[in-house]
């Protein structure tokens, strides 16, 4: 059986080497690229992100990221956003007084954490829903975070007709609760870095690969 192909979108903002090594360790055939055809062909695409929301969106737009990822999401093709790569999937980010539009795949705003010490850096627990696929077998594990901003209010609207399945939302508390992961069909996101989270992170990436292989 062929290894699932994963393209890591290279837009100048993200820890692509660590992500590439981690995905290769769990059996993916990895390419780091911003090339449109490679992004379209891949079984799964990872959107990394490190730094400020506005800077990430600038780099993302420069490689036509919104359209490339938008096409995949519209077609129900797997995408995994990591750290700021997850944040930009929301409506907007407000950092240092700079209000920047995101992709708007999920309603919500990325804002500063309410904590005495920032950034939130190090290992922390998560509280996934009982039916999580992302955290299957690793529900009680700890994951590695490095961030000062997050989505702290989940604003996904209810479906009055009952035709849509609601995203599965995972929470972590640091000062106050924030969204630490989302599973929404083929679209997944993590605020923490699975590629830096040891065996637990590798298990999570393996769970993701199992959904696309």
Report DSSP state, residue 148: S
Write down the domain spans for the chain.
Answer: 5-212
Task: Give pLDDT, residue 163.
Answer: 54
- Please give the Cα distance from 152 to 170 (Å, whole number): 11
- Please give the Cα distance from 175 to 90 (Å, whole number): 21
Q: Is the pLDDT of residue 195 over 90?
A: yes
User: Does domain 5-212 bear CATH number 1.10.10.10?
Assistant: no
Is the entire prediction scored with pTM above 0.85? yes
**pLDDT per position as a tens digit, 20-62:** 999 999 999 999 999 999 999 999 999 999 999 999 999 999 9
* Catalytic (active-site) positions: 83, 193, 195
Q: At 84, is the secondary structure helix, strand, or coil? A: helix
**pLDDT per position as a tens digit, 136-193:** 999 999 999 999 999 999 988 765 555 557 899 999 999 999 999 999 999 999 999 9
Q: Which of 194, 182, 138 is nearest to 22 (CA)?
A: 194
């Amino acid at each position: 059986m062929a290894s699932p192909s994963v393209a890591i979108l290279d837009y100048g903002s993200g820890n692509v080497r660590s992500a590439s090594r981690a995905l290769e360790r769990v059996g993916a055939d990895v390419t780091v690229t911003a090339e449109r055809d490679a992004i379209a062909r891949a079984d799964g695409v990872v959107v990394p992100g490190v730094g400020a929301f506005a800077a990430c969106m600038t780099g993302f737009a420069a490689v036509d990221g919104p359209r490339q990822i938008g096409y995949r999401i519209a077609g129900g093709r797997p995408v995994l956003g990591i750290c700021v790569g997850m944040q930009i999937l929301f409506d907007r980010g407000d950092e240092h007084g700079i209000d920047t539009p995101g992709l708007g795949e999920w309603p919500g705003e990325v804002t500063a954490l309410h904590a005495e010490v920032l950034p939130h850096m190090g290992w922390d627990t998560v509280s996934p829903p009982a039916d999580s696929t992302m955290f299957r077998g690793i529900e009680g594990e700890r994951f590695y975070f490095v961030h000062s901003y997050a989505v702290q209010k989940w604003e996904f609207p209810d479906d009055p007709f009952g035709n849509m399945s609601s995203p599965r939302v995972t929470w972590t508390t640091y000062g106050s609760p924030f969204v630490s992961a989302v599973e929404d069909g083929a679209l997944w996101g993590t605020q923490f870095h699975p590629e830096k989270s040891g065996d637990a992170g590798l298990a999570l990436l393996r769970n993701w690969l199992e959904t696309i292989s």
